[in-house]
Amino acid sequence: MFRPEQTSTPDARTSDQSGEGLVTKVSKDATLCPALFISATASGQGKTTITAGLARYHRNQGRKVRVFKTGPDYLDPLILEQAAGSPAEQLDLWMVGKKRCRHFLYQAAQEADLILIEGVMGLYDGDPSGADLAEYFGIPVVAIISAPTMAQTVGAIALGLRQYRPSLPFAGIIANSLGSDRHGELIKESMPETIPLLGCLKKQDALILPQRHLGLVRPHELEGYDDKLNHIADIIESAGLNTLPAPVKFFDEDEEQDSHDAENHSNSLAGVKIGIARDEAFSFIYPANLKLLKRLGAELHFFSPCSDQTLPEVDSLWLPGGYPELHLETLSKNLPMRQAIRSFYQQGHKILAECGGMLYAQQSIITLDQQEWPMAGLIPGIGVMRTKGGCQGMQSAALPEGELRGHAHHRSKSEETLPAIAFGKRIKHPAPGEPVVRSKGLTASYLHFYFPSNQAATIRLFHPDEVLS
């Protein structure tokens, strides 16, 4: 099990994101900011709803709130960003790296009145887990226990969560999905004296966020989303969950090391124009990826495979993941865009296609009801939608350009495509991960890459003067 090192002192030892075990130092200057890590016993307990509600409540009080999501999720951060009115970054000790996570938190603490971090799955799930991240940075944990069919047992579960790792800073419990005030009283009576019951939330439609396969529905797809968030904020306040948590000390990495890293790749993509698909079909984009490309000097040009007829004048393309399966007719019937991308590919330009972007780059996609829709047709392959997930989880891929970290999460399979040049490597599971295929300048995989995990590899993937092998 991953055991985080204590970071309560300014000279704490950490490992860099590459996993090479380098020793770095955090600066001696600390920034104080109230912070909470919001976890649960499992997925589906209400983490996103409650985190968004807390963010919106404090925002409505005039406070600046910064929100983060543990793990590689794309959809929850959109909701958290809508609630807080500020960008939502990913935090993950493996994919993002300890050093970069520390820097993100330090920057947020300098500008925010409150930092909220939503966990992933259950508190101790994964390696590293949400508990590892919270303990590593000394952030108090709130655990949500959804209890529609239990009462006093909540106290036993709370005690188990607290005692499983005594070193974990633990703020208390939120009981969710309760049936009545009496239900809440029974739970309160069951709680150990050492564990605060911070609040009880009754089961109600207002606390249910719309979902589809792969996760929650994006805020911009629904009318009145802000009204819903404001209603959730009111419920949070009425449940007594409106108190600011205690401040936490946040440190940054040693400035000399940061400057050295920045100088190594500064302006390496200067003048390179990168076209990025971004619309209702393609939206799974880490904010950190865009920031890195900009910092490296690239010019970013966004376009819509759904509605645009032509590509922007660019040197390279990035087709990220998303929900192409929800817009197949629109994508398929946009023949000018399909031809433009095919021409770009045939000229040998660099293209990175991830997950949904890879399916779009293949010959066609077949829906659950067996309708087949032609796609861009750059390479062989048929995307087949299915009801179960594929090769999920964190993986790294040893590309010829260098190793990149990322994750996979999909409910489709790719059939009859090209032989793989590499396979994703899971953190612990020995089975091969997602295949990576290559043709001309195209690199395609189900993997969603986190570009900051290897800046040099990212530069090679997009720079027109770098030859792919």
Residues serving a catalytic function are 355
The sheet with strand 382-385 has its strands ordered as 372-374, 364-366, 382-385, 412-415
Q: Quick one: tokens of 221?
A: 């797809």
The DSSP result for 80-113, as a single string, is HHHHHTS-EEEE-IIIIIHHHHHHHHHHHHHH-S
Peptide bond into 435 cis (omega under 30): no
DSSP conformation class of 221:
G
- Report residue 105: phi and psi, to 5°: -65, -40
The sheet with strand 448-450 has its strands ordered as 299-303, 273-277, 316-319, 350-354, 442-445, 432-439, 422-426, 393-399, 402-408, 448-450
Strands 247-250 and 31-40: antiparallel
Among the listed residues 60, 439, 400, the one whose alpha carbon sits nearest the alpha carbon of residue 235: 60
* Residue 100 neighbours by CB under 8 Å, 6+ apart: 17, 288, 452
Element (H, E) at 428: none
The Cα–Cα gap between 435 and 284 comes to 19
The Cα–Cα gap between 122 and 146 comes to 12
Specify which residues 394 forms β-bridges with. Answer: 407
- Give the ranges where 205-312 is alpha helix by DSSP (H): 225-238, 255-265, 287-295
